[in-house]
Amino acid sequence: MRFKTVLALTALAVLAAACSRTAPPVTYELQPLVKGGSKFHGVHGLRFDKDGNLFAVTVIGQSRFKVDTKTGELETVQGPPEGMADDLAFGPDGTVVWTAIEDGILYAQSPGGPVRKLWEGQRGLNAVSFSRDGKRLFATLVFYGDALYEIDLTGAKPPRLVVDKPGGLNAFELGDDGMIYGPLVFGKRIVKINPDTGAMTTVSDELEDPGALKLDFKGSAYALNNDVELRKVDLKTGKSVIFATLPAGADNLALDAAGNIFVSLSATNAIVEVNAETAAIRYVVEPALLTSASGLSVQTQDGKDTVYLGDLWGGVKQIDGATGAMEKHEVTVFQPAHVSTTADRMVVVGQVFGVMQLIDRKTFEVLGSWSKLNSPGDALEGPNGTIIVAETGTGRLLRVTGPEVADRQVIAENLQGPVGLAWAGADAVYVTESTGGRVTRIALADGAATPVAQGLAQPEGVAVDADGSLVVVEVGAKQIKRINAQNGEAVVIAANLPVGLSNGPSLYRSVAVSPSAIYFNSDVDNSVYKLVAKRP
């Protein structure tokens, strides 16, 4: 959906009654704060088909795109949810296969045919490649597993294990000799693997942090190293040279028929071309301000709003609530999907790997780290230093009092998709149950649950306004509601919003309230918006 379309649908007065029956009607104006502007939500695998067309894939955006290498225009070929892919490959007949790493599915589609599943139930499916003649297909498990398999393209035979625990074989390719060449992201080397025997030998150990590799079929390979280096590696000697220094966030690469190298930059939603002769770098797809806007929080000081946003591939962004001026802060939390703040500190949560960090808001020093959470949602730091966590994966509300797993106490359980949290005074929290369609108040002392509002369409982000009313993002209806916390009465204050791209890893539609505005993130167009009240 284009920004102008969204603005036309929402910017003009969406009439809302405040929760009090006597309050005058309030009109809200939709204003863009930061326009991310990219269809990508992090860009990863790249491949050219037999006709020389470039394709790019994204995991969070769950889509496959055709890329015009001259203009940078993107055409969506496969959207959510089946479009999720970390890597893709084309056979000589035009068959395309792709790896839905988080959903654990290896998809395939022949020209003009339906999408079919070659393999299911293997979270971690990462890299994929055909042999040069297209008769053999191989795929790897990385991060959630560690293995190389040969795949039967017909689906008649189960996948055959080639190598168990090779060391994280990432984007690889098969040579004319039938051997598999690729980088080991954990083994810190480039290897050659015999696909029949599984025998693995080292080609080069000169790369400190190899990420992806493609062959030029002239005796060399191009490999990414340390997120910024494009190395050219001699496959016989293992010697490598820095061919080009790239912008940060290099993820994957592909070579066109002329040998030019195209590199995806997940940290900026960009694609660059590196000239095969001169090593000159040209942007094919320009960088975006945001990669995949997720959870946000706002702090107000001296009438000035500062918004903190989890940008899944771009760290935590600190945004001026008036001008949209933005500052990037690197964090070690992978895909920071949820952010909450206090006057001095910040809690950042990564849903995919189940990690959480407590960070000093001024220095960005890490004050505490936790892991082994099961698909966590929002987390709030209390005044006594404990942290309350909505553990979406288990349907529990947790109290975290220390660094160990044993220091986690269950406050409430059997919640239906708990995601968003907001304080309900000092001794309770409001929880959005996204799959249960309700907002619930839970007492922290004994876990007593009191329904606040029901019948909602996938509520996620929740915040408390100055009058005690709740502001909730209703993702399934693409709207924001104001809910009376006492009687559950709700009114729509903004509709037809650019939220609800899909459901999946780290997609969170958040909301934050200050005295002057309501802020929310768009997972559709990777932007941050604010609603400003216009009172009569």
Give the pLDDT confidence of 373-393 residue by residue, as tens digits.
999 999 999 988 899 999 999
Domain boundary among 221, 251, 285: 285
Same domain, 346 and 458: yes
- Taking 60 as the threshold, does the pLDDT of residue 10 lie above it? no
Backbone angles phi and psi of 302, in degrees to 5: 55, 40
Same domain, 128 and 166: yes
Same domain, 201 and 347: no
Same domain, 65 and 101: yes
Residue 81: asked if its preceding bond is cis (omega within 30°), the reply is yes
Sign of CA dihedral 143, 147, 148, 152: negative
Same domain, 297 and 267: no
pLDDT digits (tens, 9 = 90+) for 391-403: 999 999 999 998 8
Same domain, 463 and 429: yes
What distance in Å separates the CA atoms of residue 357 and residue 334, rounded to the nearest whole number? 11
Same domain, 453 and 524: yes
Residue 346 tokens read as 């910040």
Count of domains in the chain? 2
SS3 string, 361-376, reads CCCCCEEEEECCCCCE
Same domain, 412 and 352: yes
**Beta-strand (E) ranges in 92-199?**
96-100, 105-109, 116-119, 125-130, 137-141, 147-151, 160-164, 173-174, 180-184, 189-193
456: closest CA among 424, 481, 431? 481
Question: Strand 418-423 to strand 46-48: parallel, antiparallel, or no bridges (unpaired)?
Answer: unpaired
pLDDT digits (tens, 9 = 90+) for 218-235: 999 999 999 999 999 999
Look up the domain containing 388 and give its range: 3-17+24-37+290-534
Half-sphere exposure of 201 (CA within 13 A, CB side): 8
Q: What is the CATH number of the domain that holds 471?
A: 2.120.10.30
pLDDT at 402: 86
pLDDT digits (tens, 9 = 90+) for 27-50: 899 999 999 878 999 999 999 999
For residue 318, what are the contacts with CB-CB under 8 A and spacing of at least 6? 306, 307, 308, 309, 326, 327, 328, 329
Tell me what the mean pLDDT of segment 398-414 comes to: 93
Same domain, 372 and 260: no
pLDDT at 447: 97
Domain boundary among 232, 260, 285: 285
Tell me what the mean pLDDT of segment 47-71 comes to: 97
- Taking 80 as the threshold, does the pLDDT of residue 16 lie above it? no
Residue 167 tokens read as 């060391």
pLDDT at 15: 31
Half-sphere exposure of 366 (CA within 13 A, CB side): 13
Query: What percent of the chain is predicted at pLDDT more than 70?
Result: 95
pLDDT digits (tens, 9 = 90+) for 106-118: 999 999 999 999 9
pLDDT digits (tens, 9 = 90+) for 161-215: 999 999 999 999 999 999 999 999 998 999 999 999 999 999 999 999 999 999 9
For residue 48, what are the contacts with CB-CB under 8 A and spacing of at least 6? 54, 55, 90, 254, 255, 256, 257
Same domain, 310 and 252: no
Same domain, 374 and 423: yes
Same domain, 423 and 486: yes
Domain boundary among 285, 314, 345: 285
